[in-house]
């Protein structure tokens, strides 16, 4: 197995195991935290009535449902995800939304109806492919020649306080995580505009327009400081750094997270900066 396909398989395993279970349990809070990101990405993607849309890495379905509302009853949205637990919740949430359907499938190789989609959309669901150029070439084949691709992704970890602040707190007590390689899949793997442009043009898209989006995100998802502390120790890079540590080290690190997040807590949540790209492009001439 090549390094890229090994990395891809590990992602599928993660999203069907611990990752999927955690995201599913936290889905309502994640949707509160990411609601302004979804709104901004939808505004850029501009889904219209009657359009056919594919939502890549749709997870628990919040974006699929929002898209279904935008394309109205004559439009169609297909939410696609590799995670069985997350997709099961998406299906539950979409009962009563007849123009939304779902497929448990790998977007990198799924045999999409050729040139049928007006819009391929994603909220943070396209950074996990082992071979992203091949995966985006597959997504491009799903798009009509007049279609468009629009997604959001994170910029560099250093710019994302929502992740950096709890992780730095934890590092007072546990060893640093190894840095991912420049081509490894992961949440921050689309931070570099050069890399994203190389991937998308290599996949047959035009050079993308990448617009920075900076938002203060409520990492507690409406739950307050203790929720934010518990979540930071359960999900994301700080939780990875904590995994396998003895109880006393974990307790000290969690106390450190609380200390670091407390100054950001207020009446409208625990707000830290999120730094993203909104990426938009269209199929290239050869598509
Ligand atoms: C960071 S989560 C985002 C979920 C959702 N879009 C949201 O914003 O709540 C990434 C999602 O991408 C999905 N994913 C990862 N690799 C995938 C692949 N090859 N094909 C389809 N979905 C994939 C995961 O299962 C997960 O649901």
pLDDT at 13 over 80: yes
Q: What is the mean pLDDT of the chain?
A: 96
Please work out whether the CB of residue 41 comes within 6 Å of at least one atom of ligand 1. no
On whether the CB atoms of residues 188 and 247 are closer than 8 A, the answer is no
Please work out whether the CB of residue 123 comes within 6 Å of at least one atom of ligand 1. yes
3-157+182-217+274-281 adopts what CATH topology? Rossmann fold (3.40.50)
Query: What is the chain's alpha carbon radius of gyration, rounded to the nearest angstrom?
Result: 19
Give the pLDDT score at 2: 85
Q: What stretches of 72-205 show up as alpha helix (H) in DSSP?
A: 84-93, 132-142, 161-170, 193-202
Please work out whether the CB of residue 128 comes within 6 Å of at least one atom of ligand 1. yes
pLDDT at 175 over 70: yes
- Model-level pTM? 0.96
> Quick one: average pLDDT of 119-136?
98
Q: How far apart are CA 63 and CA 6, in angstroms?
A: 29
pLDDT at 159 over 60: yes
Segment 182-198, tens digit of pLDDT: 999 999 999 999 999 99
Nearest CA to ligand 1 atom 19: 106
> Quick one: average pLDDT of 209-231?
96
> Quick one: average pLDDT of 79-94?
98
Ligand 1 centroid from CA 124, angstroms: 7
* Residue 88, SS3 per DSSP: helix
Ligand 1 centroid from CA 262, angstroms: 30
Residue ranges covered by each domain of the chain: 3-157+182-217+274-281
pLDDT at 1 over 70: no
Which of 9, 55, 59, 78 should be mutated for ligand 1, with most atoms under 8 A from CB? Answer: 59
Position with higher pLDDT, 84 vs 4: 84
Nearest CA to ligand 1 atom 5: 59
Instruction: Give the bridge partners for 149, in sequence order.
Output: 120, 281
Which of 82, 109, 123, 163 should be mutated for ligand 1, with most atoms under 8 A from CB? Answer: 82
> Which residues have CB under 8 Å from 142's CB, separation 6+?
54, 112, 113, 114, 115, 116, 117, 120
Q: How many residues does the chain have?
A: 287
Give the pLDDT score at 286: 59
Q: How far apart are CA 31 and CA 38, in angstroms?
A: 9
């Amino acid at each position: 197995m090549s390094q890229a396909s090994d990395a891809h398989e590990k992602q599928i395993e993660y999203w069907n195991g611990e990752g999927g279970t955690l995201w599913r349990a936290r889905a309502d809070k994640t949707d509160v935290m990411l609601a302004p990101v979804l709104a901004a990405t939808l505004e850029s993607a501009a889904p219209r009535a009657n359009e056919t849309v594919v939502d890549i890495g749709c997870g628990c379905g919040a974006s699929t449902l929002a898209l279904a509302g935008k394309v109205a009853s004559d439009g169609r949205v297909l939410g696609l995800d590799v995670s069985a637990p997350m997709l099961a919740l998406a299906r539950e949430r979409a009962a009563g939304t007849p123009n939304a359907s779902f497929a448990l499938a790998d977007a990198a190789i799924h045999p999409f109806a050729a040139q049928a989609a007006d819009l391929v959309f994603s909220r943070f669901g396209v950074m996990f492919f082992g071979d992203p150029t091949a995966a985006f070439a597959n997504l491009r084949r799903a798009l009509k020649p007049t279609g468009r691709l629009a997604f959001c992704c994170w910029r560099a970890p250093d710019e994302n306080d929502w992740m950096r602040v709890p992780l730095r707190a934890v590092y007072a007590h546990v060893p640093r995580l190894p840095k991912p390689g420049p081509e490894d899949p992961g949440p921050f793997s689309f931070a570099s505009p050069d890399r994203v442009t190389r991937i998308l043009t290599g996949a047959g898209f035009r050079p993308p327009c990448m617009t920075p989006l900076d938002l203060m995100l409520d990492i507690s998802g409406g739950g307050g400081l203790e929720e934010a502390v518990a979540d930071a120790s359960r999900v994301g890079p700080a939780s990875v750094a904590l995994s396998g540590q003895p109880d006393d080290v974990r307790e000290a690190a969690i106390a450190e997270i609380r200390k670091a997040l407390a100054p950001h807590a207020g009446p409208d949540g625990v707000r830290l900066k999120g730094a993203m790209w909104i990426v938009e492009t269209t199929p290239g001439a050869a598509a």
